[in-house]
Structure 1
Amino acid sequence: MFTTLPPLSLYVHLPWCVRKCPYCDFNSHAAPENVPQRDYVDALLEDLDLDLATAAPRPLISIFFGGGTPSLFSPEEIGRFLAGVGQRMACASDMEVTLEANPGTIEHGRFRGYRDAGVTRVSLGAQTFNDQHLKALGRIHGSNDIQRAVDELRQAGLDNFNLDLMYGLPQQSREQAVADVATAIELQPAHLSHYQLTLEPGTVFYHRPPPLPDHDATWDMQLECQALLAQHGYEQYEVSAYARAGRRCRHNINYWQFGDYLGIGAGAHAKLTNAGVERTVRCRQPRDYLGRAPADRVTERRAVSGSELSFEFMLNALRLRDGFAISQFEERTGLPMAAIDSELRSAQARGLMKPVPGAWEPTELGFRFLNDLQEMFLPGA
């Protein structure tokens, strides 16, 4: 039984890119010559109207424009959408509004336009500062474009920005991976996302794998990069997320703490708590999405309950260094802690989790072998 509803966020999917990267398994599509920005924003607002009928009223704590490449959309259309949200919903006074941006799509003055539209945070897809590696990854930008984009951010007064970095790149050395992090630190982002390149099914790299560093080499990269980030004040608070004090990403934390989120746009996912927990998915293809009536855009709707509910909570919460509060598990799942007591005790016996006052958190060993720890909470495991 749910006595308290979780915080509410909004995810907005903008599905077009200049071109598809060979490692990308996100729902992204090569942009047409003229992206139908106005029609798409109109469809997003229709989508939002549909969701408001099922979402219990709560103020939005965050909005996240993901993609695709959201920076292909003009500041004017981003602003029109945000104004439409404000007319429909209550928004927290300190609401975080994040826009993902590709350094290769930023024109002079554009970040100032996004700031004026209501964007408070930018996530910049740098990936690497090595031009050879950028080319291997199929990126449209060069290392100079990253520096230029950061300069534009600062001129616009957007100092709350994230840099996305990858390691374990084709033929990358440990020294090169560490150099990427060192260069990123020099740019003084508020937040860094640092994750290993993986070969996801359905991608070009999966079907034609490039030569990647082996497991031991990537582990060495991870450890040395983590040490460098810690040395410069970036705290690892999640598997791939590092932040300076007070600059954690509130939107993503809401995911990991099993909060609620509306998801609108082509292929967007949503999670809402009412009498129970329900997940929905929108149709993936942009043309299909634009061509359907709002009620027909939802292609999947399923209730999450019982052992599946506790597993989904743990799948997310265990990504956080701080783990989860006992009260949070009970509030977000509607289940008693007894539902996972045996799994927690087993994980503790293996040295993967430890109890702390009012909470549970992964140990260093549990964080290192996170997949093994998460699997212990699978239904029937």
Structure 2
Amino acid sequence: MTRESSASPLIFGGDASSPRAALPVLPPLALYIHIPWCVRKCPYCDFNSHTASPVLPEEEYVDALLADLDQDLHAVHGRELSSIFFGGGTPSLFSADSLGRLLKGVEQRIPFASDIEITLEANPGTFEQDKFVAYRKLGINRLSIGIQSFQQEKLQALGRIHNGDEAVRAAGMARQAGFDNFNLDLMHGLPNQSLDDALADLRTAIALKPTHLSWYQLTLEPNTVFWNQPPTLPEDDTLWDIQEAGQALLAEHGYAQYEVSAYALPGRPARHNLNYWSFGDFIGIGAGAHGKLSHPDGRIVRTWKTRLPKDYLNPAKSFRAGEKALTNDEMPFEFLMNALRLTEGVESRLYPERTGMTLESLAEGRREAEQSGLLQVEPSRLVATERGQLFLNDLLQKFLT
């Protein structure tokens, strides 16, 4: 029994009757690949991740990923891939042989840009020097290392499988393996964390000289252990002090904030994520992966794939769990919830280029947001004020219809 190309028809809602302009140029195209297995599920994690069995079905999963990609090739429209991101889960649980076969299969189907960025998420507890040297030889040229904290008490509270020394060694091993571009993922606002604790973590991370830091506050998400059994988190005043002092420390060491929780050395922002935030396109393959695909006639479709690995690997089931065409009413919010995360926003012209809508369709919400002090009065750009960055949800409400 073969898989169908779609599990459900397109869903339309809101103002679907008014046509949008055809897109003059399609946005850049990226690929997200989801590897859904972890050594252990963390109590704060709401991503689609599952505890790995002793032997992973690597060969079968790579076959499924390539078959999944085949069903999305109609949306490529002659473009090349500007970036690839292996997310999870813990993609570094897969062997270099499996990832190499996958990358070769992808490139046979979609050409790679000459300067393509290929990022792999990895956790310190999975670092093996030989494996990461092999990853680098495959063309993977960027790592995102999930540190979260360097302090043993905090790591235990977060359910992490590594310790602080392993986290420090992981950064050194990444560099030795040939990765001159890597991100460290670090959380703050952890259970019982003080200002000094948070800044000590940040100083340790900065001393490892990553090119990029994702530094963000722990939040309690539904359907997680922490949601049902909340830990004791710092008070709001402490959280504010951590945010202010941490941002100053990062700036002092040359890390410019370019997104709500992303900081980079000059020329080193994450290109894959910049594509998300500027309303670029991305194919999503793998269990639970999401995608966003534009078509020359103006249609913009969000897709999502079958979530459970056992279902994704079942030939009797479809890869695609659903898809939805964005309507005119939804477009302002969909575009701005990404673009306004960027500290410098985007050029106003990007809105009609990426959506097929006129700038006039933003006029009412834009006027209200400017009058509320949430959006800068700057005709050539769409950019939140400092207050707007702090109250981004309130800002985005101005563009809901």
TM-score when scaled to structure 2?
0.93
Asked whether 1:6 is paired with 2:27, we answer: yes
Q: Which residue in the other structure is 2:86 paired with?
A: 65
Equivalence for 1:291: 314
Structure 2 equivalent of residue 165 of structure 1: 186
C-alpha distance in structure 2 between counterparts of 1:270 and 1:292, whole Å: 21
> Which of 324, 327, 344 is the aligned partner of 1:305?
327
Structure 2 residue corresponding to 1:47, chosen from 68, 85, 106:
68
What does residue 125 of structure 1 align with? 146
- Give the match for residue 146 of structure 1: 167
SS of 1:23's partner is: coil
Separation in 1 of the partners of 2:332 and 2:398? 11
For 2:321, the aligned partner's letter is T
Q: RMSD between aligned alpha carbons?
A: 1.0
Residue 307 (structure 1) shift: 1.8
* Matching residue of 1:278: 301
Identity of aligned residues (%): 55
- 1:76 touches 1:117 (CA, 8 Å); kept in 2? no
2:284 to 258, 263, 269: 263
CA distance in 1, matches of 2:322, 2:279: 20
Indicate if the aligned counterparts of 1:109 and 1:152 stay in contact, CA closer than 8 A: no
Partner amino acid, structure 2, of 1:364: E
Q: Aligned partners of 1:374, 1:235: CA distance in 2, in Å?
A: 24
1:325 is displaced (CA, Å) by 1.1
Unaligned runs of 5+ in 1: none
Give the Å deviation of 1:57. 1.9
Following superposition, the deviation at residue 109 of structure 1 comes to: 1.8
After superposing the two structures, state which structure 1 stretch, 185-194 or 83-92, moved more. 83-92
Can you list the C-alpha shifts for 1:287-323, whole angstroms capped at 9, x where unaligned? 11001357x1111111101120111001110000111
Is 1:367 paired with 2:399? no
Alpha-carbon offset, residue 55 of structure 1: 2.9
Structure with more relative contact order (C-alpha pairs < 8 Å, separation 6 or more): 2
Does the Cα contact within 8 Å between 1:8 and 1:59 map onto a contact in 2?
A: yes
In structure 2, the partner of 1:19 is 40
TM (norm. structure 1) is 0.97
Q: Matched residues in 1 for 2:373 and 2:74: separation?
A: 46
Distance 1:239 1:163 in 2: 16
Give the whole-Å Cα distance in 2 for the aligned partners of 1:279 and 1:292. Answer: 23
Match of 2:105 among 72, 84, 89: 84
- Whether 1:252 and 2:303 are equivalent positions in the alignment is no
**Runs in 1 of length 4+ with deviation above 3 angstroms?**
none
**Which one has a larger percent helix, Structure 1 or Structure 2?**
1
Gaps of 5+ in 2: 1-20
Partner of 1:116: 137
Q: Which amino acid aligns with 1:8?
A: L
Q: SS at 2:75's partner residue?
A: coil
For 2:97, the aligned partner's letter is: E
Tell whether 2:358 aligns with 1:336: yes
